[in-house]
């Protein structure tokens, strides 16, 4: 865009008639010029509108497909221009959301288009542009051009009727002054509402995404709770019950068989140590103490420490919200567990960086690759991250290396 | 403390946790109860229960392969096939609803206890013998849950008519204890306990029941009817 167009497409700040000054006059003149542009686009819009409709019956024979391949992109180009112009006038962005056509060919692409609501909105738009939109935009131009024509006619021709028309110019110009900003704004708003209802589609998609990720998160939480219950039941709870049995029996044997009683008590003592170890590991699985005490950096270092591989941990992130920290910690933990179990790596690395908006996590190793992003472990990580709108990309060609890149939006 | 008068009991055991299986076996053996078979999964337990060559089965609720309530289901199924088959179900946590299912599987020779109770060796062994002899044993936790559940509803009025001591007696009755055992527990005479039970039965409009087992069922039915 040139400076001129940047200037002429500044947002419409006011539609009030006052003040009456040079700036306001310039503003109205530029809006009249924009209106002229809007009005002129009626010609291509009408042509594209008719051709679009023609595509449907012609689709029965090959011609419709050929026509669509030309008409639909041309329509998109025209609506794209309108989006930019109207968006600038309203000071906001009018987003598009065409259905993805990657991987389609000349036959399947028109088929995809015909089911795409955003493309149909384009068709609706060109018809608006050729009819009601044209009427809205031609008015400011006519109200300004009319009086100018009368004056020129009166001077050149000098006829009586010309002068009568010149007398009407006052009211016409007054109307022009009053309605131009409002009409241009009305047209821009109409364009946004037709083309920008992409926002509704965008929100619908977002809601769908959130619903899916919420369901997955709930499933995941339920599975986690179940795992914790199982760990407690099979671990600490069982061991403590066994301690009770041993001590109970020891109590009973104390008088009759002190040696056996002592042996039972010794066993019981050892079992309490195991029970505590079980409890500690359950606690680590819920909220690791190192993470709680020292944040993500300390938590990840503590995580890497007992792993029998050299692991480089670099963390460049300030304080993060606790749920994000926890999700990041367990995501890295799962990746490293995979590395240890499957990769046969000689070294691994963890890089964490927070750029103010997004937390980037990279876990890599020099192992044999072939990690399956749909395996239960990594899929679980993806689910955990989805709860935070996070993403995970697994690159793991056969022969390695494996690099898992994760991103979690986390504005500071 | 092997009992001299009681005949030696033969028990079968189903418990998947080795530590607890060994502990239970030791306690039973040390108390003069022979553990003739000990298994760690549900299919083997089912075969054991079908064989029926034992005086009592001591069964963990949760067993492999699916770790849900296989032990409980196996016990109920076996008792459906052989009414009165003595089964004592052990669990790490008790659920009143499981207790109800067990009691519904036929009168007597049934028990449901927390594994914690095993630590009180004499009490536990007494419970094993009571179930083997056809009695009913319910964990105090289950009974407490049923009794305390009554405090919330508007229909809790009948329980308010009981004295503190009568409520204690009611709780012990629901656990399956005899008058003699209740008397020993509360340090009163058996005659006093008899007076309390009569008073409870008349205050709650319960049918008088001669044997302990019917009495437990009556009390429990009453408790459940109130919750």
Structural domain that includes position B192: 143-226
Cβ contact B17–A230 (<8 Å): no
Q: What is the pLDDT of residue A197?
A: 61
Cβ contact B116–A244 (<8 Å): yes
Residue B78 lies in a domain: yes
Do B134 and B150 fall into the same domain?
Answer: no
Write out the H or E segment, with its range, that includes residue A404: strand A402-409
What residue segments make up the domains of chain A, in order of their start? 3-196, 215-286, 294-409
> Final residue of a domain: which of B138, B158, B174?
B138
Q: Which chain A positions have a beta carbon within 8 Å of B24's beta carbon?
A: 245
Do B189 and B98 fall into the same domain?
Answer: no
Residue B169 lies in a domain: yes
Residue B2 lies in a domain: no
Residue A326 contacts residue A390 (beta carbons within 8 Å): no
Do B16 and B107 fall into the same domain?
Answer: yes
Do B33 and B100 fall into the same domain?
Answer: yes
A242 touches chain B (CB under 8 A): yes
The CB density around residue B226, as the number of other CB atoms within 10 Å, is 17
Do B47 and B27 fall into the same domain?
Answer: yes
Question: DSSP letters of chain B?
Answer: ---SSSPPEEEEEE-S-HHHHHHHHHHHHHTTEEEEEEE-SHHHHHHHHHH--SSEEEEESS-TTTTSSHHHHHHHHHHHHSTT--EEEEESS--HHHHHHHHHT-SSSEEEEEGGGGGSHHHHHHHHHHHHTT-EEE-HHHHHHHHHHTTTSGGGHHHHTS-HHHHHHHHHHHTT--HHHHHHHHTS-HHHHHHHHHHHHHHTTPPP-SSHHHHHHHHHHHHHHH-
Q: Which CATH number fits domain A294-409: 3.30.565.10, 3.20.20.100, 3.40.50.2300, 3.40.50.720?
A: 3.30.565.10
Query: Looking at the 3D structure of chain B, how many domains does it have?
Result: 2
Closest Cβ opposite residue A245 in set B62, B67, B119: B119
Do B122 and B174 fall into the same domain?
Answer: no
Cβ contact B92–A249 (<8 Å): no
Q: Of B3, B13, B21, B23, which to mutate for an interface test with A (greatest number of A Cβ within 10 Å)?
A: B23
Higher pLDDT, B81 or B221: B81
> Final residue of a domain: which of B123, B138, B153?
B138
Give the integer Cα–Cα distance in Å for A35 and A184: 6
Instruction: Describe the strand order of the beta sheet including B9-14 as a list of residue ranges.
Output: B33-39, B9-14, B56-60, B87-91, B110-114, B136-138
Three-state secondary structure readout of A53-78:
HHHHHHCCCCHHHHHHHHHHHHHHHH
Give me the total of CB pairs closer than 8 Å, taking one residue from chain A and one from chain B: 54
CA distance A68 to chain B (A): 59
Q: Which chain A positions have a beta carbon within 8 Å of B1's beta carbon?
A: 252
Chain B residues with at least one Cβ partner in A under 8 Å: 1, 17, 19-20, 23-24, 26-27, 30-31, 62, 67, 92, 115-116, 118-122, 124
Average the pLDDT over B108-126 and give the result. Answer: 91
Class of domain A215-286: mainly alpha
Q: What is the pLDDT of residue A1?
A: 44
Give the integer Cα–Cα distance in Å for A211 and A207: 6
Do B24 and B86 fall into the same domain?
Answer: yes
Chain A residue with CA closest to B1: the answer is A252
> Rounded to a whole number, what is the largest CA-CA distance in chain B?
50
Looking up residue B210, the CATH number of its domain turns out to be 1.10.10.10
Closest Cβ opposite residue A244 in set B31, B119, B122: B119
Q: Is A394 helix (H, G, I), strand (E, B) or coil?
A: strand
Do B112 and B175 fall into the same domain?
Answer: no
Question: DSSP letters of A336-383?
Answer: HHHIIIII--S-EEEEEEE-SSEEEEEEEE-S-----TTSHHHHHHHH
Chain A residue with CA closest to B16: the answer is A234
Q: Is A120 helix (H, G, I), strand (E, B) or coil?
A: helix
Residue B145 contacts residue B191 (beta carbons within 8 Å): no
A241 touches chain B (CB under 8 A): yes
Q: Assess whether pLDDT exceeds 90 at residue B21.
A: yes
Cβ contact A230–B67 (<8 Å): yes
List the beta bridge partners of residue A407: A360, A391
Q: Which chain B positions have a beta carbon within 8 Å of A242's beta carbon?
A: 17, 19-20, 23
Give the integer Cα–Cα distance in Å for A264 and A262: 5
Q: What is the pLDDT of residue B211?
A: 67
Q: Mind listing the pLDDT tens digit for each residue in A273-325? A: 999 988 988 888 888 888 888 889 999 998 888 888 899 999 998 888 888 88
List the beta bridge partners of residue A408: A359
> Final residue of a domain: which of B138, B155, B183?
B138
List C-alpha distances in Å: A130 to A175, A283, A375, B76: 24, 68, 55, 79
Do B37 and B69 fall into the same domain?
Answer: yes
A405 touches chain B (CB under 8 A): no
Residue B4 lies in a domain: no
Average the pLDDT over B77-104 and give the result. Answer: 88
**In this structure, what is the dihedral angle of CA atoms B107, B108, B114, B115, given to the nearest 10 degrees?**
-130
List C-alpha distances in Å: A94 to A82, A162, A198, B154: 9, 45, 8, 62
Give the integer Cα–Cα distance in Å for A158 and A143: 21
pLDDT band at B79 (very low <50, low <70, confident <90, very high): very high
CA distance B102 to chain A (A): 22
Looking up residue B122, the CATH number of its domain turns out to be 3.40.50.2300
Lookup result for tokens 């996070």: A390
Residue B103's closest CA among B128, B74, B75?
B75
Cβ contact A245–B67 (<8 Å): no
Give the integer Cα–Cα distance in Å for A371 and A335: 10
Do B172 and B128 fall into the same domain?
Answer: no
Residue A269's closest CA among A252, A286, A291, A247?
A247
CA distance A274 to chain B (A): 12
Pairing assessment for the beta strands A348-354 and A358-365 based on DSSP bridges: antiparallel
Residue B1 lies in a domain: no
DSSP A408: E
Give the integer Cα–Cα distance in Å for A241 and B114: 10
Q: Which residues of chain A have pLDDT under 70?
A: 1-7, 197-199
- The complex scores an ipTM of 0.78
The token duo for A366 is: 């020099």
Residue A98 contacts residue A76 (beta carbons within 8 Å): yes
Residue B93 lies in a domain: yes
A230 touches chain B (CB under 8 A): yes
Cβ contact A247–B119 (<8 Å): yes
Chain B residue with CA closest to A256: the answer is B1
List C-alpha distances in Å: A80 to B24, B69, B122, B178: 79, 64, 86, 89
Cβ contact B1–A252 (<8 Å): yes
Pairing assessment for the beta strands A402-409 and B56-60 based on DSSP bridges: unpaired
Q: What is the pLDDT of residue B226?
A: 57
Q: Which chain B positions have a beta carbon within 8 Å of A239's beta carbon?
A: 19
Higher pLDDT, A216 or B38: B38
Residue B3 lies in a domain: no
Do B118 and B191 fall into the same domain?
Answer: no
Cβ contact A245–B116 (<8 Å): no
**In this structure, what is the dihedral angle of CA atoms B157, B162, B166, B168, given to the nearest 10 degrees?**
40
A269 touches chain B (CB under 8 A): no
A251 touches chain B (CB under 8 A): yes
Rounded to 5 degrees, φ, ψ at B151 are -65, -20
List C-alpha distances in Å: A290 to A131, A197, A353: 68, 48, 19
Residue A98 contacts residue A80 (beta carbons within 8 Å): no
| Distance, C-alpha B22 to centroid of its chain | 22
Do B165 and B185 fall into the same domain?
Answer: yes
Give the integer Cα–Cα distance in Å for B64 and A26: 85
Q: Mind listing the pLDDT tens digit for each residue in A341-377? A: 888 889 999 999 999 889 999 999 999 988 888 887 8
CA distance B116 to chain A (A): 6
Q: Assess whether pLDDT exceeds 80 at residue B187.
A: yes
Residues contacting residue A152 through CB under 8 Å, at least 6 positions apart: none
pTM, to two decimals: 0.60
Write out the H or E segment, with its range, that includes residue A180: helix A160-195
A145 touches chain B (CB under 8 A): no
Closest Cβ opposite residue B26 in set A230, A249, A251: A249
Cβ contact B23–A245 (<8 Å): yes
Chain A residue with CA closest to B60: the answer is A238
Region of B52 on the Ramachandran plot (φ > 0 left; ψ -120 to 50 alpha; else beta): left
Q: Mind listing the pLDDT tens digit for each residue in B89-100? A: 999 888 878 888
């Amino acid at each position: 865009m040139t400076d001129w167009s940047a200037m002429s497409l500044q947002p419409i700040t006011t539609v009030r008639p006052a003040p009456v000054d040079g700036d306001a006059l310039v503003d109205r003149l530029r809006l009249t010029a924009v209106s002229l542009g809007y009005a002129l686009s009626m010609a291509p819009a009408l042509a594209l509108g008719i051709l679009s409709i023609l595509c449907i019956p012609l689709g029965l024979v090959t011609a419709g497909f050929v026509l669509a391949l030309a008409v639909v992109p041309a329509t998109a180009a025209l609506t794209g221009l309108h989006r930019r112009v109207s968006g600038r006038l309203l000071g906001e962005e009018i987003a598009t959301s065409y259905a993805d056509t990657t991987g389609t060919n000349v036959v399947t692409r028109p088929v995809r288009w015909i089911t795409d609501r955003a493309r149909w909105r384009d068709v609706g738009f060109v018809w608006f542009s050729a009819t009601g939109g044209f009427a809205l935009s031609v008015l400011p131009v006519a109200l300004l051009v009319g009086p100018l024509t009368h004056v020129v006619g009166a001077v050149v021709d000098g006829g009586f009727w010309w002068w009568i028309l010149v007398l009407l110019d006052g009211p016409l110009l007054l109307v022009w002054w009053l309605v131009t900003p409002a009409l241009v704004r009305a047209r821009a708003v109409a364009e946004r509402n037709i083309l920008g209802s992409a926002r509704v589609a965008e929100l619908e998609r977002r809601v769908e995404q959130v619903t899916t990720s919420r369901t997955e998160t709930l499933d995941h939480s339920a599975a986690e709770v179940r795992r914790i219950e199982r760990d407690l039941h099979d671990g600490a709870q069982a061991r403590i019950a066994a301690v009770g049995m041993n001590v109970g029996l020891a109590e009973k044997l104390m008088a009759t068989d002190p040696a056996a009683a002592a042996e039972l008590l010794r066993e019981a003592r050892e079992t309490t140590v195991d029970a505590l170890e079980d409890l500690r590991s359950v606690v680590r699985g819920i909220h690791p103490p190192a993470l709680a005490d020292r944040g993500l950096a300390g938590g990840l270092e503590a995580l890497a420490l007992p792993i029998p591989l050299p692991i480089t941990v670099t963390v460049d992130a300030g304080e993060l919200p606790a749920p994000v920290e926890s999700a990041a910690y367990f995501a890295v933990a799962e990746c490293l567990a995979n590395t240890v179990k499957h990769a046969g790596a000689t070294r691994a690395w963890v890089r964490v960086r927070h750029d103010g908006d997004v937390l980037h996590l990279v876990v890599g190793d020099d192992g044999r690759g072939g990690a399956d992003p749909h395996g239960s472990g990594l899929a679980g990580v993806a689910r955990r991250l989805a709860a935070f709108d996070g993403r995970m990309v697994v690159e793991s060609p056969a022969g390695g290396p494996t690099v898992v890149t994760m991103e979690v939006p986390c504005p500071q | 403390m092997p009992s001299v008068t009681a005949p030696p009991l033969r028990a079968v055991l189903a418990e998947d946790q080795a530590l607890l299986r060994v502990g239970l076996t030791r306690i039973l053996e040390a108390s003069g109860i022979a553990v003739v078979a000990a298994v760690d999964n549900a299919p083997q337990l089912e075969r054991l229960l079908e064989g029926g060559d034992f005086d009592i089965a001591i069964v963990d609720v949760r067993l492999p392969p699916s770790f849900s309530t296989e032990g409980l289901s196996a016990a109920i199924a076996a008792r459906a096939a052989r009414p009165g088959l003595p089964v004592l179900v052990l669990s790490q946590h008790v659920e009143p609803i499981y207790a109800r299912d067990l009691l519904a599987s036929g009168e007597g020779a049934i028990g449901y206890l927390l594994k914690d109770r095993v630590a009180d060796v004499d009490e536990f062994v007494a419970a094993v013998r009571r179930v083997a002899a056809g009695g009913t044993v319910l964990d105090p936790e289950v009974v407490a849950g049923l009794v305390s559940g009554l405090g919330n509803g508007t229909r809790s009025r009948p329980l308010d008519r009981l004295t503190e001591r009568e409520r204690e007696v009611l709780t012990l009755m629901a656990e399956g204890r005899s008058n003699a055992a209740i008397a020993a527990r509360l340090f009163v005479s058996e005659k006093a306990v008899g007076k309390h039970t009569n008073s409870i039965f008349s205050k709650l409009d319960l049918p008088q029941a001669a044997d302990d087992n019917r009495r437990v069922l009556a009390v429990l039915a009453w408790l459940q009817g109130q919750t």
